[in-house]
Structure 1
Amino acid sequence: MPVNALYTDLSDYYDLMCADIDYEAQSHCVHRLQQIFGNGGRRHLDLACGTGPHVRHFLDAGYRSSGLDINQPMLDKAALRCPEAQFSLQDMCGFSAGEPFDLITCFLYSVHYSGSIERLKACIASVHATLAVGGLFCFNVVDKSRIDNRLFASHSVAHEGSQFSFQSCWHYHGQGEAQSLRLSIERTCAGETQVWQDEHPMVAVTFAELQALLQPYFDVQVLEHDYERIAPWDQTSGNALFACVKI
């Protein structure tokens, strides 16, 4: 099973790296999508759940929520955050569950971690096999044809006497099924700065290619990447929410 070395080494800082993410808004939006498009059920599984912040919000909303990840240090922290949830060390591209789920989520573009089209197909097949009829698979994704390699996201946060700076960006070479997520983390404490840099291999797809992979299994809605409102994708932006109902 592949393990992300950066996240293993820096799992204590993962929540700081994601400190600017509104987990509550994301979780509430997907809850609304489940009510609108899904079967309304409350059995939930979060793929690539990390330290469990989304799981926490679904539990608080009345779901029976579970999570899986390939990183055990992340899961250990998720279990502390959500002691009533079930967590398992599994690969999202080939997982199994003892019962069907009504809602399966994959936040923070983590579906790209499948790494290749073949593994993405395996992920989709595993999700379909695990969902109940009418269940919803919801995730966010970036279109490779709309990636601007010059753009990046960054934020800084103070924690326990240290100042952290985080930066991330997509990089796509312009052809093929491989793109990458480039990360940079700086920690400054007592005048000394440490820098970690990593590049994660990710699968690259267009929205049209992804729809073609999903449509044999799901009724697919492509929506604007906006957690405050639900609207069809505008056909121009490079990020989208996919809401996929099991046929």
Structure 2
Amino acid sequence: MTYERFAYVYDELMKDAPYEKWLMILTAKLEQYGIGGRKVLDLACGTGEMTVELAQHGFEVTGVDLSDEMLLVANEKAVKLGLSIPLFQQNMAELEGLGQFDCVTIFCDSLNYLRDEEDIVKTFSRVHEHLKDGGLFLFDIHSIYKMEEIFRNNTFAVNGEEVSYIWDCFPGEEPYSVEHDLSFFVRDDESGLYDRFDELHYQRTYPFEQYKNWLEQAGFTVSEILADLEEAPLVTETERILFVASK
């Protein structure tokens, strides 16, 4: 999977993402669990939208992403705002050498991009190593309901002035997985013509009980499981599940 061109249209596609909600939850949970430190490791930070938001709210944040292109966009945002944010290109399943943090986050269902169970187990272990004792690990995932009922065999489309796209979702090879086949049409400012490029993304999820087991095996205590970024229990139609785990 490449983000070389996708990185530059990502923010347009993510403009309705609940960044403020994630920030509110993170801030509230740090206070709720009595964590006074402000060091946050933002894994799978993408173009840095959340990373920059955290820095602007006084957090000492470090961003990590697998994509150099995404990190380039994130750095451009930080520089433009006069922020100095450490950014590192690493696979979160092989995370190393970044020190310890008060909180580690993996927002925006980024964990669902890990195709193998082993990579999730390794990620949880590496996150545990990078957390201070008592630190929090927050991440959200797509539910099975969202994979099976919202994504599977559905098509989404947006006809924008600058960026348009067609997004087809097909069943993946593994259980509870989806292939996202995206075609983008991006307007060239000089010619006014639209340039097309395609992306194929793969996501996979598991029963929430499995994530809980993996977390406990890595040494975490699962403190809370929230439905759709709300202080609410899971129901059949829950689409996004957020875990709050303590070291």
CA contact (8 A) 1:38 1:136 kept: no
TM-score between both structures, scaled by the size of structure 1: 0.83
CA contact (8 A) 2:143 2:205 kept: yes
CA contact (8 A) 2:65 2:89 kept: yes
Q: Which runs of 5+ in 1 are unaligned?
A: none
Kindly tell me the number of residue pairs found equivalent between the two proteins: 236
Aligned residue type for 1:225 = D
C-alpha displacement at 1:236, in angstroms?
A: 4.2
Structure 2 residue 216 is matched with structure 1 residue 215? yes
* Percent of matched pairs sharing the same residue: 24
TM-score between both structures, scaled by the size of structure 2: 0.83
Alignment of 1:95-174 (within 5 A): 95-144=95-144, 146=146, 147-148=148-149, 149-151=152-154, 154-158=157-161, 163-168=162-167, 171-173=170-172
- Two-structure CA RMSD over aligned residues (Å): 2.5
Cα distance between partner residues in 1 of 2:106 and 2:41: 9
C-alpha displacement at 1:61, in angstroms?
A: 1.7
Cα distance between partner residues in 1 of 2:43 and 2:114: 11
Alignment of 1:22-101 (within 5 A): 22-37=18-33, 39-82=35-78, 83-101=83-101
Distance of aligned partners of 1:209 and 1:179 in 2 relative to their CA distance in 1, 3 Å threshold:
farther
Distance of aligned partners of 1:37 and 1:225 in 2 relative to their CA distance in 1, 3 Å threshold:
farther
**CA-to-partner distance for each residue in 1:21-67, whole Å, 9 max, x for gaps?**
23223222222122224634211011111111111111122110000
Distance of aligned partners of 1:225 and 1:8 in 2 relative to their CA distance in 1, 3 Å threshold:
same
CA contact (8 A) 2:102 2:135 kept: yes
Cα distance between partner residues in 2 of 1:144 and 1:205: 7
Q: Which runs of 5+ in 2 are unaligned?
A: none
CA contact (8 A) 2:42 2:64 kept: yes
2:238 corresponds in structure 1 to 237
